[in-house]
């Protein structure tokens, strides 16, 4: 195998990516997924989700995504008491930690972040780094594990790195269970509106500067394509009800009038110049290829789609 560091640089040049560290991180994100693919649990399925799953879904997203979001989906016909379910989720986390710790590539940073009786778990994972970090990248891979049900049945998907796509070095991750593109897109739309509204109401809340990538992703997934707004409204209704159940105590306005609160978040994205700046800082540098999408293009389509989806909500 050629020197992998040289391949990173060659692939970055071929794709027109200015920062070789983006290709490097993409490679190790896929290697992390390879580790996770080998894990099996009696009680849960691991399902690949989020922006990175979109970037690997052959939809020409044309951007690097740096985190790994995994849904831990309870298997049907598995009935556990509340206390037993907590123990099982904790054991699952320990198995994931052990698998990562045994690898040659990765090192877990700090203690895991755990919320809601191990329904949410977060690990920060160091990976080999030979190139100067691009400002748009975190210096670690953030692995999130969230217990939830799926909006639609998962689909199996082959996952490849930029290095494999261009140089055919390494191996694909075959048949990793993945959330559907439609489900991911609607979850992203609701998530950024809810979290933008929450941050605008209380600036002391935890804020993720890279969340604005959801607007770009939605544009790339849906622009120029027919959207079934009745079906999207049906999925969005499910997501909103789940979010109210999960986050309602911390975000009471989502409970009182969820549509108004999400529209407030939509308006905040347009009104506050912070989000255009974040788009330019955290999206534009990670996009490759000839097409360059502006904030105004992406937001205008996102806004129009959100309004039509909300017209079909059944809350």
pLDDT 10s digits, 264-310: 999 999 999 999 999 999 999 888 887 789 999 999 999 999 999 99
Which residue reads 């809601």 in tokens? 116
Q: Are residues 22 and 123 in the same domain?
A: yes
Number of domains present in the structure of the chain: 2
Q: Are residues 50 and 174 in the same domain?
A: yes
Nearest-CA neighbor of 303 among 274, 272, 273, 262?
262
Look at residues 145, 163, 179 and tell me which one is the last residue of a structural domain. Answer: 179
Q: What confidence tens digit (pLDDT) does each residue in 35-85 have?
A: 999 999 999 999 999 888 888 876 668 887 789 999 999 999 899 999 999
Rounded to the nearest 10°, the torsion over CA 293, 52, 149, 216 is -10
State how far the Cα of 125 lies from the Cα of 141, in Å rounded to an integer.
5
Domain that holds residue 275: 182-310
Compute CA 283 distance to the chain's CA centroid, rounded to the nearest angstrom: 14
Which residue reads 């999400």 in tokens? 262
Q: Are residues 10 and 159 in the same domain?
A: yes
Give the H or E element holding residue 123: strand 120-126
Name the H helices within the chain: 4-15, 20-37, 50-55, 82-101, 162-167, 181-201, 213-222, 229-247, 252-256, 258-271, 273-282, 295-310
Residue 165's pLDDT band, with cuts at 50, 70 and 90, is very high
Contacts of 292 (CB under 8 A, 6+ apart): 284
Identify any residues that bridge with 291 across adjacent strands, giving them in sequence order.
Answer: none
State how far the Cα of 31 lies from the Cα of 36, in Å rounded to an integer.
9
Side-chain-side CA neighbours of 27 within 13 Å: the count stands at: 25
Look at residues 139, 160, 179 and tell me which one is the last residue of a structural domain. Answer: 179
Q: What confidence tens digit (pLDDT) does each residue in 82-99 have?
A: 999 999 999 999 999 999
Q: Are residues 118 and 222 in the same domain?
A: no
Identify any residues that bridge with 126 across adjacent strands, giving them in sequence order.
Answer: 107
State how far the Cα of 145 lies from the Cα of 156, in Å rounded to an integer.
18
């Amino acid at each position: 195998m050629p020197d992998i560091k040289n391949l990173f640089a060659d692939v970055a040049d071929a794709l027109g990516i200015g920062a070789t560290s983006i290709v490097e991180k993409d490679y190790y994100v896929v290697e992390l997924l390879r580790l996770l693919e080998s894990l099996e649990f009696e009680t849960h399925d691991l399902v690949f989700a989020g922006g990175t799953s979109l970037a690997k879904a052959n939809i020409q997203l044309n951007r690097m995504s740096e985190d790994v979001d995994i849904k831990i989906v309870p298997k049907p016909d598995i009935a556990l008491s509340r206390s037993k379910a907590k123990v099982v989720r904790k054991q699952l986390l320990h198995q994931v930690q052990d698998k990562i710790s045994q690898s040659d590539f990765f090192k877990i940073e700090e203690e895991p972040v755990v919320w809601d009786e191990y329904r949410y778990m977060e690990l920060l994972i160091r990976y080999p780094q030979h190139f100067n970090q691009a400002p748009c990248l975190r210096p670690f891979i953030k692995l999130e594990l969230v217990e939830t049900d799926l909006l639609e049945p998962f689909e199996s998907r082959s996952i490849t790195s930029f290095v494999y796509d261009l140089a055919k070095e390494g191996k694909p991750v075959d048949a990793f269970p993945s959330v559907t593109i439609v489900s991911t897109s609607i979850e992203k739309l609701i998530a950024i509106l809810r979290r933008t509204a929450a941050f605008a109401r209380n600036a002391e809340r935890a804020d993720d500067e890279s969340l604005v990538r959801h607007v770009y992703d939605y544009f790339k997934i849906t622009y120029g394509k027919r959207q079934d707004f009745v079906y999207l409204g049906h999925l969005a209704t499910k997501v909103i009800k789940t979010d109210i159940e999960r986050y309602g105590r911390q975000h009471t306005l989502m409970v009182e009038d969820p549509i108004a609160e999400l529209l407030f978040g939509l308006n905040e994205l347009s009104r506050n110049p912070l989000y255009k700046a974040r788009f330019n800082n955290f999206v534009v540098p990670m996009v490759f290829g000839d097409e360059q999408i502006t904030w105004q293009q992406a937001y205008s389509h996102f806004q129009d789609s959100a309004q039509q989806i909300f017209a079909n909500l059944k809350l």
